Amino acid sequence: MARIVAISGSRREASTTKAALRVALEAAADAGAETDLIDLGAVDLPLYHPDEDDQGDSERLKRRVREADGVLAGTPVYRGSYSSTFKNFHDFCGSHEYEDTAVGLLATAGGGSYGGTLEHLRSTFRNVHAWVVPHEVGIRGASSEIDDGRFRDDDLRKRTERLGRIVTEHAERLRE
Ligand SMILES: Cc1cc2nc3c(=O)[nH]c(=O)nc-3n(C[C@H](O)[C@H](O)[C@H](O)COP(=O)(O)O)c2cc1C
């Protein structure tokens, strides 16, 4: 059974990114995966310091990524890129965590522009040898699209569920 972990790069309690990732995770579970969610708003993770090995929850969080066969990476769009919260976690994890891992990308935007954020995620995940799947999800006007944890738009929900399924399928292949 593939293990899929979602990583949410928002610190907000009522995060739309986290809500969308939960939808993708449910689809992954329906496809037979064991699922896990790392909510970066609810962990103890100081600003990465290269001179220090073990900071806050870093070792436990890295292990959860390392043991996963697939990752669903989600972030809010901040200044046309991904959040500093996501970047901080990115600095802790390297190819040791992401080698042979299928990765699916998701970005939520307040406005309409998420393309740069998905590109930045794609190139930085490639840098750590992840297998980033071509299917990706961008959600514009996220606070209106996601209400109380649910998608208003069926097509967007289906696209997000598809991300969970595709990452699970590729994760299964990479396990073989
Ligand atoms: C510091 C900051 C910068 C932001 N920059 C952008 C931006 O460049 N483009 C955009 O469309 N939305 C921007 N937003 C809005 C967020 O992307 C949007 O509200 C997102 O859905 C929040 O995700 P969350 O609910 O998971 O926290 C910004 C929000 C914050 C707090």
Q: Is the CB of 8 under 6 A from ligand 1?
A: no
- Tokens 């806050």: give the residue: 56
12 Cα: distance to centroid of ligand 1 (angstroms): 11
Q: Cβ distance 61 to 39 under 8 Å?
A: no
The pick from 10, 23, 39, 78 for probing ligand 1's pocket by mutation, whose C-beta has the most ligand atoms within 8 angstroms, reads 78
Residue 49: what pLDDT? 97
How far apart, in Å, are the Cα atoms of 21 and each of 46, 47, 101?
23, 24, 17
Q: How does DSSP classify residue 52?
A: -
41 Cα: distance to centroid of ligand 1 (angstroms): 15
Residue 19 CA: nearest ligand 1 atom is 26
Q: Mean pLDDT, consecutive 10-residue segments, the chain of 176 residues?
A: 97 98 98 98 97 94 98 98 98 97 98 96 98 98 95 97 98 94
Q: Is the CB of 107 under 6 A from ligand 1?
A: no
- Give Cβ neighbours of residue 36 (< 8 Å, ≥ 6 apart): 3, 4, 5, 6, 64, 68
CA 95 to chain centre: 16
* Nearest to 48, CA basis, from 77, 84, 78: 84
Dihedral pair phi/psi, residue 10, rounded to 5°: -110, 145
Residue 112: what pLDDT? 85
145 Cα: distance to centroid of ligand 1 (angstroms): 14
Tens of pLDDT along 70-120? 999 999 999 999 999 999 999 999 999 999 999 999 999 999 899 999 999
Distance CA 59, CA 2 (A): 21
Distance CA 143, CA 133 (A): 26
Average pLDDT, the chain: 97
Which CATH number describes the domain made up of 3-175? Answer: 3.40.50.360
With vertex at residue 92, the alpha carbon angle to CA 14 and CA 104, rounded to the nearest 5 degrees, is 55
pTM as predicted: 0.98
* Nearest to 134, CA basis, from 167, 97, 176: 167
78 Cα: distance to centroid of ligand 1 (angstroms): 5
